[in-house]
Amino acid sequence: MKDNHLLLITGWLRAFKQATKGLYRNIYVTLAATFSIAIALTVLFVSVVTILVFREVVYHLQSQISIVAYIEKNTLEEAMDGMLDFIKKRPEVKSAELITPQEALNQLAAVLGEEGAIILSLDENPIPYSVEITLNYLEDAPKIITLLREIPIITEILNMGEAISRVSNLLSMVRLIGGLVFTLFTIFATILISLTVGLAIRNRKEEVLVMYLVGAPPGYIKRPFILEGLLYGFLGGAVALTILIIFHPTLKKFLHDMLRLLNPLGNFALGNWWYLWVSLIIIGAFIGALGALFATQRYLREA
């Protein structure tokens, strides 16, 4: 058993050595493969980052939208506190705050600007107590609104339905487009790598044929090609990363300018998504190996 493991490790090490040799012995194929993968991964990365920035903006918009529920006049404070506790305990609720009539009046006056003075000069404050609720996910808004309607001391709920539904739809669309872009580019990169490794195999058809003739099992023949694909992907990922590091300020400026009207990006920085930078290399290597696996299945059958 120990010998078998040793044999397997030796086999993989040898295949790795062979794959690295293949890289520089077929330097033109290596360069073509690395740069095509780098381009595919760069486009993939920029698309993913754009989608993530959109998502961030949509989440920000989401946090700006709150549900306001007005409370019946002359309600006892204990009843209001009890209701507030009940709302706060809901898992869908991010925050819930009791707004006094005076606070509400001040807010309204601030919004109205100069005309607000008239409001403040009124003898009687017409605004009742209210609760301002923000949610973790806007999708839960209908559920919470239904719940609030069942509370007897709530007289009215400020209708944010349209805004909620728009942001919610935008969020779903961003998720869908993000998923589609990622899937399409992953398929595109895999096909590209598959074709490139296929080219490498065709280029080395003689070697494959000789390996078959000396009794190499198919798995043994595939190994160096799969590792070679993995290395193409790894190198492609590294080149893509270098391109992105160089063009990082340009990309950031582009995204900032594009989204300025929707919402300032604030503290947002591409460097925050360190996991994307790392995954670029990992995804590259994975796609490389996957593409090579497809290519070996296809082209070794031909050989």
1 near another protein, rule: CB under 8 A:
no
5 near another protein, rule: CB under 8 A:
no
| Class of residue 210 by CB neighbours under 10 A (exposed 0-12, middle 13-18, buried 19+) | exposed
207 near another protein, rule: CB under 8 A:
yes
286 near another protein, rule: CB under 8 A:
no
Question: To which residue do tokens 């993995």 refer?
Answer: 230
Q: Binding string to another protein for residues 16 to 55, with x set by CB under 8 A, is what?
A: ---------xx-----------------------------
216 near another protein, rule: CB under 8 A:
yes
209 near another protein, rule: CB under 8 A:
yes
Q: How many helices (H) and strands (E) does the chain have?
A: 10, 4
11 near another protein, rule: CB under 8 A:
yes
Tokens linked to 13:
């090490």
Are the CB atoms for 35 and 236 separated by under 8 Å? yes
* Least distance in angstroms from the C-beta of 44 to another protein: 33
143 near another protein, rule: CB under 8 A:
no
* Least distance in angstroms from the C-beta of 8 to another protein: 9
Q: How far is residue 194's CA from residue 55's CA, in Å, rounded to a whole number? A: 32
Single-letter code of the amino acid located at 200: A
Query: What sections of 115-217 are H helices per DSSP?
Result: 116-120, 141-149, 161-203, 205-213
72 near another protein, rule: CB under 8 A:
no
Q: How far is residue 156's CA from residue 131's CA, in Å, rounded to a whole number? A: 11
Single-letter code of the amino acid located at 60: H
Stretch that binds another protein, among 10-18, 65-73, 110-118, 121-129 (CB under 8 A): 10-18
Question: Which residues contribute to the site for another protein (CB under 8 A)?
Answer: 7, 10-11, 14, 25-26, 204, 206-207, 209-218, 220
